[in-house]
A = this chain, B = another copy of it.
Amino acid sequence: MEKFKKIILSENEMPKQWYNIMADMPNKPLPPLHPATKQPVGPEDLAAVFPMELIKQEVSAERYIDIPDEVLDLYMKFRPSPLFRATSLEKALGTKSKIYYKYEGGNYSGSHKANTAIAQAYYNKQEGVRRITTETGAGQWGSAMSFACNHFGLELLVFMVKVSYNQKPGRKLLMNTYNAKVVPSPSTLTSAGRKILEMDPDSPGSLGIAISEAMEIAAQDPYTKYSLGSVLNHVILHQTIVGQEAMIQIEKAGDYPDVVIGCFGGGSNFSGIGFPFLREKLQHGKNVRLVAVEPSSCPKLTKGKFTYDFGDTAGMTPLLPMYTLGHNFMPDKIHAGGLRYHGAGVLVSQLLKDGFIEAKAKMQRECFEGAVLFARTEGILPAPESSYAIAGALDEARKADLEGVSKTILFNLSGHGHFDISAYEKYFENNLPDHELTAAEVENAISKIEVPV
């Protein structure tokens, strides 16, 4: 085992269930509330936009949920994904620590998003849905959903955040290749989009706005449903395949992580790799830290407020109890489009509040610096989002070296950056602005959160 670079699992070794952390949380999250009645939403309130099986998963307290055969079948086109030991990166750092990364960029979509896209498309198809609407930031989620919908014979309409639509034209073309229709958001197709454009015709868009647009279209037609790429419990559930595999792999390597790191947008890739390890901590007291890394310009975990807020800008979603910068918060145009989201998923928010996970914020230039070091040592060009996880891992290794100890560090390399190469160009041109949200900016953002309960 001395010289191994990666741990590969066979298809037989792939976990056949998703893990639901709800079952093991000491404090269950507060319920989502109906914006009008302020009462907990029931399944029927969500049925207009989601298929019933996903609604059941959203509220389930079952510890394990079987992955359907059709989903397993499609997973096996790219799963289990490899776990790498970052030996070249370790050498470049001169660290005493061991750095592992789970690589989720090796599939058709180039990111972990395929794990939930396939599941969501499958359940929708099962329930007779004909068309799906969704949002996408950098386009990883939209790409993942495009192939999945096409596979199951569903139409897909993607609202792509305008700044990313312009930054990453290749992602739109990839979605088109998989038969999806893509429009830049805010758009004139919806009243939510038109309203934003009236206020700011040059709005760069945000995930919050794109969600509003996609939900608005879905609510108009019984055969159209809406699909979300992160934040929600069922999305996080589907991503736990990542951490379950990683645990088998790192144990095969004769190791166990001291710290597990993910970048943080809505929470699904962080939770996907982290929650199975947190399970071991909650159930058996096994020692492990979970660290979420978010952009300094969109710091909901580190500077946001824990309160009920909408998941989208127009206020169409239920009210969710979460760390948020306010559903009207407009994030900077950073290249990590998938991290430009105002709130954190409910499960992560509760766990952060209860001290079971940690969060930190990083500037984009430092993250790209880490991404370039990673590319030059490990080879793979990281997605801008994943660069935040890399920066988090480098922090941990350096800290351990300063303390004279050796740690075992695991992070999720959630995607590759082949469609984000213009961001690297900007980095090399020294043309990536850094912005840490000031106390006044945070105060201002939070003051605008209407807390309707």
Contacts and interface: CB of A to CB of B under 8 A. Distances in A.
A383 to B, nearest CB: 12
Nearest to A425: B173
A151 B418 contact: no
Contact of A170 (B78, B107, B110, B418): B418
Interface string A134-149: 0000000000000100
A428 interface: yes
Interface string A361-377: 00000000000100111
A447 interface: no
A379 B5 contact: no
A77 B73 contact: no
A48 interface: no
A150 to B, nearest CB: 6
Nearest to A86: B77
Contacts of A108: 375, 378-381
A379 B180 CA distance: 14
Number of chain copies forming the complex: 2
A437 interface: no
Contacts of A35: none
A231 B394 CA distance: 41
A3 interface: yes
Given A10-B8, A108-B379, A174 B77 contact: no
Contact of A76 (B6, B109, B377): B6
Interface string A404-448: 000000000000101101101100100000000000000000000
A6 to B, nearest CB: 7
A177 interface: yes
A43 interface: no
A84 interface: yes
B77 A381 contact: no
A176 interface: yes
Interface string A80-114: 00001000100000000000000000111110000
Given A8-B8, A76-B6, A381-B108, A375 B84 contact: no
A430 to B, nearest CB: 14
B376 A147 contact: yes
A179 interface: yes
Contacts of A150: 376
Contacts of A107: 379
Contacts of A356: none
A422 B169 CA distance: 9
Contacts of A176: 424, 428
Nearest to A88: B151
A3 B16 CA distance: 14
A58 interface: no
Contact of A4 (B11, B179, B375, B416): B11
B3 A73 contact: yes
A416 B4 CA distance: 26
A428 B181 CA distance: 13
Given A8-B9, A174-B418, 16 more contacts: A5-B76, A6-B77, A8-B10, A77-B84, A77-B88, A78-B379, A88-B151, A108-B380, A109-B379, A110-B418, A169-B421, A170-B422, A173-B421, A173-B424, A176-B428, A419-B421
9 contacts: A4-B76, A5-B11, A77-B84, A77-B88, A109-B379, A147-B375, A169-B421, A173-B421, A419-B421
